[in-house]
Amino acid sequence: MNFRTINPSDFDFIIDLALSEGIRYTRRDLTRILDYEPDGCFIAVENEKKLGIVSTIVFGKVGWIGNLFVAKSSRRHGAGTKLIKEALRYMQNKGVEYPKLYCYPHRITFYKRLGFLTEINVQVLNGHGRETQYENVEGLTEDSIDELIALDERLFGANRLKVLRRFYDEFKEYCFATRVDGRMVGYIMASGAEDEYELGPWICEPRYQDEFVEELLKAEMNRLTGKRIELSSPMHNTLVERVLKKCDLQQKGIAIRMGYGKRVPIGNIEGILGIGGLDRG
């Protein structure tokens, strides 16, 4: 079994493989993933047969293992384990001290055998955008990007410039922020295509959440009127739970954040209301 970096010629294989797991990717989605970490996305190959893939993204000392997909015919033969080890090796060479990932409950045992420990639970929700009124939320502007990056780094715990900048460039009409005395204290983004969008990141300083959590979500839902929405939200905040229910977002499953080797909290989890995608933290 050999490993090489993923390239666009692998996209059809990955799209079909992800679809077999119930996950829909477009070529645009995969191009974005590859652009984030071109040297850290790997495909396992044996005798020219493609076995599976893994993606990573590095944010300084924090690294995320994103997609791990293995063809059914290649499972239980070590391909998944070797792909994860290849991803860990890459991140450690890049200076990552805290490798993390999200997985669904049926994968916990697999990752525990590789040295990962559970950290937090995240609920994955579905719903639809709808027309609604909101207050004290503004569209994000180009001259606010640096301020957004600083806010996000303070709450997330690492610099996600390459992701947030890309989100803004591609989906600026779905990017909103809120301010107190001129200072940004929260924001929300969404990305997707056609009629399906993934909501997040969704972030707000804890002391302002009573005032702005619902308004940020309503602004995004209003912009996404008529579109299908998916959101992954850490399960720690009763205010957020009430807002999600009020907006008719229904839980479809649970994901678990795991950390490699030790449980290390990063950032301020109380400020994270919705993550930017299970494959990128």
Binning the chain into helix, strand and coil, the percentages to the nearest 5 are 40, 35, 25
Higher-pLDDT residue of 155 and 280 is 155
Instruction: Taking the CA atoms of 121, 127, 129 and 131 in sequence, report the sign of the dihedral they define.
Output: negative
Q: What pLDDT does 22 receive?
A: 86
Torsion of CA 116, 20, 226, 278, to 10 degrees: 10
Q: What is the DSSP string of 204-241?
A: E-GGGHHHHHHHHHHHHHHHTBTSEEEEEEES--HHHH
- Residue 255 to residues 120, 138, 228, 239: CA-CA distances in angstroms? 9, 31, 20, 20
Q: Is the pLDDT of residue 188 over 90?
A: yes
Per-residue pLDDT of 127-158, as tens digits, reads 999 999 999 999 999 999 999 999 999 999 99
Domains of the chain by range and CATH? 2-96 (3.40.630.30), 125-274 (3.40.630.30)
Q: Find, among 205, 196, 203, the residue nearest to 233 by Cα.
A: 203
Q: What pLDDT does 23 receive?
A: 87
Q: What pLDDT does 220 receive?
A: 98
Q: What pLDDT does 28 receive?
A: 92
**Rounded to an integer, what distance in angstroms lies between the CA atom of residue 150 and that of residue 160?**
9
Per-residue pLDDT of 91-120, as tens digits, reads 999 999 999 999 999 999 999 999 999 999
Per-residue pLDDT of 255-271, as tens digits, reads 999 999 988 888 899 99
Q: What pLDDT does 62 receive?
A: 96
Q: Is the pLDDT of residue 52 over 80?
A: yes
Q: Is the pLDDT of residue 76 over 80?
A: no
